[in-house]
Amino acid sequence: MELQLTWDQDKRQRNYAKHGLDFVHAGEVLQSPYCLKLLVQMNAEERIVSFAYVMNYLCVLTLVHTHRHDQIRIISFRKASQKEARFYFEWLANEWHES
């Protein structure tokens, strides 16, 4: 299934300069069978924080996104913090179930 990803081009460039990750690769997190998605409320908008271990990067990546007009709007894409990575690996070891 082809994901319909959108983003603000200026935000994409700032994110790449800060984190070294390009929004065009965000689908690697979303398409991972080991993706953990958490719903959060930020700035009066429901957002999704997704985590996945991505082999191409050999680390856990964090993706913040939302749904707008049947598309996935990318907000932020970065390497997970140590705390986020620990949380993700605990979830993977204790709660993840193959679909």
User: Given this model, what pLDDT does residue 12 score?
Assistant: 97
Residue 29 and residue 51 in contact, taking contact as beta carbons nearer than 8 Å:
yes
Q: Is the pLDDT of residue 70 over 90?
A: no
User: Given this model, what pLDDT does residue 1 score?
Assistant: 55
Task: For 33-45, write each residue's pLDDT tens digit.
Answer: 999 999 999 888 8
User: Given this model, what pLDDT does residue 43 score?
Assistant: 80
